[in-house]
Structure 1
């Protein structure tokens, strides 16, 4: 039985019959066998049908990582529809735009999340409460399953759009089934557990769920803060995870800190940006049994298009992105669509049955990127520059356009620039990536004020935060009288990327404030910030984001606080207390909690060793 003949829903149904008691999904507290998962999904599919969901419909899914999320997505498929994953952290206007673009008339989600997103009550449905309520008698049988056609839409995943409008990529059932069923590029058996931790709007999450369920393995649902490396390692061990997908930026971070997660896992797939040979070698030499796979692929080609199993010899230079997998074809072309010789750089055009159908509601853009090649058939122009070795192995060399990858997120600067130009105080804007350190990429916005008066970085940040997800909000800001141009009249992004920019252009405390004496605890926090941000911090009112901080740098501080002071602070708490003073107060409360006990007065906690030399 092939994946394309049955699709992933059919594979799940088969495992529910042949290995009904095998574990299918668990978060450590709630667990479902394959029989229970099938019963739960079929039951909820019936609820969806009762709410009017029909084959071909789109259904929004606004849920955190959980067992019900997996049940819901499978139920949507068995109802004949396709799902649209939504991130609860995205601004409400963006969620509304995604639902409108996808044509989703119903959204499954928790009450609070739905209300925050502003979705009308008559277009919402609560999720199944773990699945147990559908595990009894009277559950619809297989005859009620809607078996999708290979070229039917499985899900719509949104990516950044250069015109200011996010692009909804329509991925097919055969695209995901061919990717995940019996993969040749990574070891995956029924004994494995695949860690489900990636953001649901990131296409790695589709691999995490369906690669497990298409092979009789289990989905290990991580409920930890998704940006917490320590929480990720604890969940991997707690859940018995054996396989995980990591963004390149997160892999680099974990490798640099010698995370214990690599001692738990057997297989790791890395993707999103160029892989550091140094970090790959560090991990492989410390964990020689680890199957480390460098994966490359745009959402338009269903997550991974090429892969390469990394060995020590690959780390003498930039590791390759490998050979095409799972029916994908790869063609290195010049600008006219003519193949170039081995060793010559060209644009990578991808083909094969796993290509997406295109961009929902954007036929012109679909026609521009998905082309009919006279010899190779339907191909997707990636915009990525590669070269092929004599054996066909591909090396990555960058982009042909302005698109960038930052911390694993695909970003079209044009989308940010479009949103900035909607501010009345902005005449023009350009967004580029600067790399103050090899493992640190920051978005920098250069803004031309309208009327000569700058609106202020704080106002512009607030303007974007109401329209764009956090990863599209610049980390640093600069104001200029005009944007530099190249000889052909285009914005000179290379020149802007080389311009020095300090912090974000935001004053640390809202007004210019002279640095004052710091308390011992504030000094500890300031020192950790200085180390992470690679700049001196000596003001209690300094703001982490205003100094150019972002989530991965925040992780460094959070982990250092845990290691140096023994305190656990979540990223949510970190960003809720963004100044040195506020964070020191947060740490103090955590220390008080740790050291409370018989004979320890609340106002005299035992001093951590890290503070002794500050007194």
Structure 2
């Protein structure tokens, strides 16, 4: 019998002793057994110590999904530090802010990634290259369950991201022997979520805490089609999906569900229609609706979804893994079953707070006189008589888009830094149940609108892609409520053109037959007619999940592969039709295509 008394490092050491040859990590080409993983982590921990890492130090991890990523994270713990996952696609200023906020003294990453992020050479370290046996010369650091395990960043309303300090006790309690999903030593958990998304921590440690294997998707950000291929190639049995991606896969009847045994979906409200369609097509599937903020270590409540649950909105379930849950009124008093209130969470898995933000920490993490230390989620829920929770929305302006938690204030703060912006407000509009679009309403400075393209470029230099609005509107003034606050509900219901321009469009040129094919696919994805070869997908409100619909239809209808990078590099109807034409010519030429001819790349995932 294993125990979490020694934390995840101790559990992995246990498996390295008792089942040394069991598979721990694989990407399909590189594999590590539990003995090999522990040895590789000890070896790299020694390197970290030689570079000055001491207990309590923060280490940035700027790596794509890979076996070395898993080794590095464990090695940081072995050295006594905590890791800070970084996304290579984030703008350098964003990465710099995250490293500064977390107080990282070193960043592990390939030379090209650390240089692109602007990290000085004396603060960068190459990732582990092998798995040499290190013996007992580099033992794991002494385990402290209340020490920080990793710092995960979420959107911040003040204009700076919030670094949530998750403890070793928190992640160990979440991962070891979860009662809310089945993970056995025979399972392989797919590691595919963005490393800056807290589901990725469950994908790695949920496997290794239970003697299972981490199945690493090395083709970073796979398309849904590629995700199914990768799951089958790696023998994955369990995965975590954002709710938006689950809906997308369900609507397109993805073969992924036929490969897996268990799926955890979380991030937004789960569609009963999509859940029912998946369960009826794959009745063996263990489908879990998971809920939880990063501040409560990923999953705080969970519910095993059945067909009967799909008669209405599926519940978010009951507390799991030691979490306590209270439905409170505005005075912090419990409300009766069936009455809506704010969800306050407690238990041993609460984070320590926000790094470097004591005031913000004190605001959200409170000492309740009867229930102890609790985290105020800002989510509105109600409890059924048996304690099962139903989700009803938010108490504040925070929003969820395609699984990402977004504080509109962070985007608005960045917009106001533009010289042409006097004020701004950001809301979510939902033109269809499965389509959430981030919309920015901008009040121009001195009445001269800077233009959507300029503002988009301004944000792309400062914020990650999921914080850049899809749709833009320019207004003379923001609507206000009776108490003087921005009327976000009115903005969410206000129609706006995709690019936010008020000038009449120029007459559209006629479409060629191939341009018409592309335009028809765009129309189907966007939900309105597109008939201009110069039309721009992003300006029309398109986003990555809608783009995936187009590239998958191109593959199914024409046999053409197009990556999202290619899609957004040529975002007009005419440019994409030209790309499709070249791809069709290469397909027609067959194996005689010159070696130096450009070839379609693997379709990437939007997350």
TM-score normalised per structure 1: 0.95
Tell me the distance in 2 between the aligned counterparts of 1:407 and 1:599.
42
Aligned 1:590-601 pairs, distance under 5 A: 590-597=583-590
Residue ranges of structure 2 left out of the alignment (5+ in a row) = 595-607
Query: Contact 2:146–2:169 (CA<8 Å) still a contact in 1?
Result: yes
Deviations 1:49-101 (CA, angstroms, capped at 9, x unpaired): 00000000000000000000000000000000000000011100000000000
Q: Distance in 2 between matches of 1:583 and 1:35?
A: 49
Map 1:271-282 → 2, pairs under 5 A: 271-282=266-277
1:535 aligns to what? Answer: 528
Q: Alpha-carbon deviation of 1:456?
A: 1.0
Conserved in 2, the CA contact under 8 Å of 1:227 and 1:555? no
Q: Secondary structure at the match of 1:386?
A: strand
Q: CA deviation at 1:599?
A: 9.7
For 1:600 and 1:402, the matched residues in 2 are separated by: 53
3-state SS of 1:556 partner? helix
Report deviation, 1:187. 0.6
Alignment of 1:413 onto 2:370:
no
CA contact (8 A) 1:225 1:571 kept: no
Once residues 356 and 591 of structure 2 are traced to their aligned partners in structure 1, the CA distance between those partners, rounded to angstroms, is 65
Call closer, same or farther: CA 1:322–1:522 in 2, change over 3 Å.
same
CA distance in 1, matches of 2:121, 2:249: 42
Aligned equivalent of 1:548: 541
Structure 1 contact 3–178 (Cα < 8 Å) conserved = no
State the alpha-carbon separation in 2 of the partners of residues 540 and 110 from structure 1.
40
Shift of 1:142: 7.3
Cα contact 1:227–1:551 (8 A) shared by 2: no
* Matched position secondary structure for 1:515: coil
Asked if the contact 2:508/2:532 (under 8 Å) is kept, the reply is: yes
Matches for 1:208-607 after TM superposition, within 5 Å: 208-505=203-500, 513-597=506-590
The verdict on how the C-alpha distance between 1:504 and 1:227 changes in structure 2, with shifts beyond 3 A counting, is farther
Match of 2:602 in 1: none
- Kept in 1, the 8 Å contact 2:586–2:593? The answer is no
Q: Which stretch has the larger CA shift, 352-361 or 112-121?
A: 112-121
Aligned CA distance change for structure 1 residues 411 and 585 (closer, same or farther; 3 Å):
same
The residue aligned with 1:12 is: 12
- CA deviation digits over 1:524-565, x for unaligned, max 9? 111100110111111111111011000000010010000000
1:140 Cα offset (Å): 4.2
Residues 9 and 147, structure 1, Cα contact 8 Å, conserved in 2:
no
Question: Is the Cα–Cα contact under 8 Å of residues 458 and 506 in structure 1 kept in the other structure?
Answer: no
**What's the counterpart of residue 55 of structure 1?**
55
SS at match of 2:6: helix
Residue 227 of structure 1, CA deviation: 4.7
The Cα shift of 1:144 comes to 1.8
Root-mean-square deviation over aligned CA pairs:
1.6
Show CA shifts across 1:309-366 (max 9, x none): 0000000000000000000000000011000000000000000000000000000000
1-side partners of 2:109 and 2:91: how far apart? 16
Report the Cα distance in structure 2 between the residues aligned to 1:2 and 1:21, rounded to whole angstroms.
17
* Aligned counterpart, 1:110: 110
**In 1, distance between residues paired with 2:268 and 2:54?**
38
TM-superposition CA deviations, 1:263-308 (whole Å, max 9, x none): 0000000000000000000000000000000000000000000000
Kindly state the Cα deviation for residue 515 of structure 1 after the two structures are TM-superposed.
1.2
How far does the alpha carbon of each residue in 1:128-161 deviate from its partner, in whole angstroms, 9 at most, with x for none? Answer: 12x33x23xxx14176210321110000000000
Is the Cα–Cα contact under 8 Å of residues 225 and 570 in structure 1 kept in the other structure? no
CA distance in 2, matches of 1:289, 1:21: 30
Q: Please tell me whether the aligned partners of residues 158 and 166 of structure 1 are also in contact (alpha carbons under 8 angstroms).
A: yes
SS at match of 1:348: strand
- Describe the superposition over 1:21-42 as per-residue Cα deviations: whole angstroms up to 9, x where unpaired: 0000000111111111111111
Q: CA deviation at 1:598?
A: 7.9
Give the CA deviation at 1:474. 0.5
Deviation at 1:229, TM superposition (A): 0.2
Number of positions where the alignment pairs a residue of Structure 1 with one of Structure 2: 595
**Any residues of structure 2 matched to 1:116-155 within 5 Å, and which?**
116-129=116-129, 131-132=130-131, 134-135=132-133, 139-141=134-136, 144-155=139-150
CA contact (8 A) 1:225 1:231 kept: no
In structure 2, relative to structure 1, the CA distance for the partners of 1:291 and 1:142 (3 Å cut) is farther
Contact 1:543–1:580, Cα closer than 8 Å, also in 2: yes
The question of whether the paired residues in 2 share the 8 Å contact of 1:227 and 1:571 is answered with no
1:46–1:140 Cα contact (<8 Å) kept: no
Q: CA separation of 1:140/1:80 partners in 2, compared to 1, >3 Å: closer, same or farther?
A: farther
Q: Residue 156 of structure 2 aligns to a residue in which SS?
A: coil
Partner secondary structure for residue 331 of structure 1: strand
| TM-score, with structure 2 as normaliser | 0.96
TM superposition shift of 1:575: 1.1
1:504, distance to aligned residue in structure 2 (A): 2.2
1:386-438 residue CA offsets vs partner (Å, 9 max, x unmatched): 00000000000000000000000000000000001111111110000000000
Q: Does 1:35 align with 2:28?
A: no
Which deviates more, 480-489 or 141-150? Answer: 141-150
Matched, 1:100 2:93: no
**What are the superposed Cα offsets for residues 465-499 of structure 1, whole Å, 9 maximum, x if unpaired?**
10000000000111111111101111000000000
Tell me which residue corresponds to 2:605. none
SS in 1 for 2:108: strand
